[in-house]
Structure 1
């Protein structure tokens, strides 16, 4: 598990600048901006929200612009630094934290929402139960999570694609993933198919 995390995040570290720039424009990701706005509206105020696997910080900055206090978390140090430097350029004051989704360094019931856009798909299926339990643990009662995943079956290493290097991907059946959220203790679980082909968002309440 640890080797998978290190290698995958190493790929993002090695491509931090190019990935950060390429992922900035919401026009490239149909429907995503509206999904972030809806998450910001639904997460209880005034507690902070966690952008879990923040990458270049695109969604972190949007959430902050919508009035949310945001903890931006990622395992890849170079990605965190890229996101932090971009936020400094825009004059935003945000919190950045290196973290592992399998052991979040946050207190129980400390955030109002957990936004995970395309990050938990890098967790092997054997670790997904633990990751979802951690998301549940850090949420306040009535807090929400919104997790975007890729539709499919199977998991393993993928070489190349949009980034040079090797990354782990876990593809899931939407209904089965909803079941895993419910098993982790989430209620009112619903699946929303994104405007991006092959993607969906699972939303659940603690």
Structure 2
């Protein structure tokens, strides 16, 4: 339900009220994006941003080209194509971090891999910061309040390295880049099939 209160562990779980009858735990992509967005916004202020998820194939996709009741692209074969798709994950972050409501949007590319996806978060910062300073804050959060939710790695990783990883979001320090101290691209992995 679009009206159900939404919660992401490590982000806004403190607002949970046991009297709620129905709640949403958001999507796997939102669970990857929100902890990272929280750390960045809390420390450097996200002015605005775009998110792209490079997302593994899901059960809703076609194995070969076929009819689709929605968009033509949705009917294309998942194992033969990279398929642009919509996602509400970035907008959902505005539900769990109200200060970011209307400041993020995004899209997906569905790619022919069985499991593990990655978020590319590109943001304009209100408080200038070097990429090294950003990495340090994410690392501190991963060892402190977000331990077990947000992980940090400097290894030269690829998607299959995260199959079965229980963290909601694994920040890839070696993959991100900055154009300047106000404009950065941050990369975080997630096992989209792991509970």
TM over 0.5: no
**Structure with more of its chain in helix, by fraction:** 1
TM-score under structure 1 length normalisation: 0.28
TM-score under structure 2 length normalisation: 0.29
